[in-house]
Amino acid sequence: MERREFEEHLTNDLIPFWKDLKDEQYGGFYGHMDKDLKVDKHADKGVILNSRILWFFSASYSLLKDEDLLIPARHAYEFLRKHCYDKSRGGVYWALTYDGKPVDTTKHTYNQAFAIYALSEYYMASSDADSLVLAYELFDLIENRCRDKDGYLEAFSVDFTPDDNNEKLSENGVIAERTMNTLLHVLEAYSNLYKADNSQEVADRLKEIADIFSEKVFDTKRGRLKVFFDLDYNSLIDLYSYGHDIEASWLLDRAAEVLDDPEYTRKIHLISDVLTDEVHRHAYSKSERALYNECENGTDDRKKVWWVQAESVVGFRNAFEKHPDRTDYEEASEEIFSFILDKMIDLRCGEWYENILEDGTKDLGRGIVHQWKCPYHNGRMCIEMCRRLKS
Determine if residue 161 is left, alpha or beta; phi over 0 gives left, psi from -120 to 50 gives alpha, anything else beta: beta
CA 212 to chain centre: 19
Q: Are 195 and 258 in contact (CB under 8 A)?
A: yes
How far apart are alpha carbons 5 and 382 in whole angstroms? 9
DSSP class per residue in 347-385: TTTS-B-SEE-TTS-EE-TT-SBBTTBSSSHHHHHHHHH
User: Contact 57/66 with Cβ under 8 angstroms?
Assistant: no
Q: Mean pLDDT for each 10-residue chunk of the chain (391 residues)?
A: 96 98 98 98 98 98 98 98 98 98 98 98 98 98 98 98 94 96 98 98 98 98 98 98 98 98 98 98 98 98 98 98 98 98 98 97 96 97 96 74
φ, ψ of residue 285 to 5 degrees: the values are -100, 105
In DSSP notation, 129-191 reads: HHHHHHHHHHHHHHHHHSEETTEE--EE-TT--B-S--GGG--TT---SEEHHHHHHHHHHHH
Q: Which pLDDT belongs to residue 268?
A: 98
- pLDDT number for residue 351: 98
Number of domains in the chain: 1
Q: Give SS3 for 56.
A: helix
> Rounded to the nearest 5 degrees, what angle is found at the Cα of 184, between the Cα atoms of 236 and 49?
105
Q: What is the pTM of this model?
A: 0.98
Residue 303 DSSP class = -
For residue 13, the domain's CATH number is 1.50.10.10
Task: Determine the Cα–Cα distance for residues 258 and 275; give it in Å rounded to an integer.
Answer: 20
What's 213's DSSP letter?
Answer: I
> Rounded to whole angstroms, how far apart are CA atoms 262 and 257?
10
pLDDT for the residue numbered 1: 87
- Asked if residues 47 and 111 have their Cβ atoms less than 8 Å apart, the reply is yes
Task: Select from 276, 378, 285, 385 the least CA-distant residue to 336.
Answer: 285
Q: Which of 228, 137, 103 is nearest to 178 (CA)?
A: 228
pLDDT of 221 reads: 97
Which residues constitute the domain of residue 170? Answer: 3-388
Q: Determine the Cα–Cα distance for residues 156 and 158; give it in Å rounded to an integer.
A: 7
Q: How far apart are CA 166 and CA 228, in angstroms?
A: 11
Within 157-301, strands assigned E span 178-179, 218-219, 224-225, 228-229, 239-241, 284-285, 290-291, 294-296, 299-301
CB neighbour list of residue 234: distance below 8 Å, 6 or more residues apart: none
What are the CA-CA distances from residue 344 to residues 33, 243, 278, 314, 348 (Å)? 17, 16, 25, 16, 12
